[in-house]
């Protein structure tokens, strides 16, 4: 399953959970999504190394997704994360994920090893 090929536009974010119950061993960010066809999934980013959640609130409506995409190791923020670790994680393949919303103009940015849909 390719992240960039999912039907992002007008999907609804119902819940976002940052799970640090097992820090450094299992850092997970999960997003409950309702797709335009009505199906529901939990999108989990696994082995998260960095996240920036620029979330806006106060708008009375569902949080719909405008667009989302994934970039690989060539992304500038991914390069910065590798640099911060001083070569210790160069053998780990990290990806940059970005989700932009319609409703509140929010942006979710995550660097992790991967994702899964449940």
The pLDDT tens digits of the residues spanning 23-56 come to: 888 899 999 999 999 999 999 999 999 999 999 9
> Is the pTM of the predicted complex or chain greater than 0.85?
yes
| Contact (Cβ atoms closer than 8 angstroms) between residue 56 and residue 30 | no
Give dist(CA 41, CA 31) in Å, integer.
8
- pLDDT at position 37: 96
pLDDT range class, residue 5, cuts 50, 70, 90: very high
| Contact (Cβ atoms closer than 8 angstroms) between residue 49 and residue 112 | yes
The pLDDT tens digits of the residues spanning 56-89 come to: 988 889 999 999 999 998 999 999 999 999 999 9
| Contact (Cβ atoms closer than 8 angstroms) between residue 13 and residue 32 | yes
pLDDT range class, residue 98, cuts 50, 70, 90: very high
């Amino acid at each position: 399953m390719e992240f960039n090929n999912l039907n992002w536009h007008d999907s609804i974010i119902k819940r976002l959970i940052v799970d640090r119950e097992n820090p450094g061993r299992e850092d997970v960010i999960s997003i409950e999504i309702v797709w335009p066809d009505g199906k529901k999934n939990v999108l989990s980013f696994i082995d998260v190394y960095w996240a920036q959640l620029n979330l806006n609130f106060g708008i009375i409506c569902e949080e719909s997704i405008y667009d989302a995409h994934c970039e690989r190791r060539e992304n500038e923020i991914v390069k910065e994360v590798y640099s911060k670790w001083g070569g210790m994680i160069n053998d780990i393949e990290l990806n940059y994920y970005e989700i932009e919303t319609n409703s509140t103009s929010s942006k979710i940015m995550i660097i992790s090893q991967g994702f899964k849909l449940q």
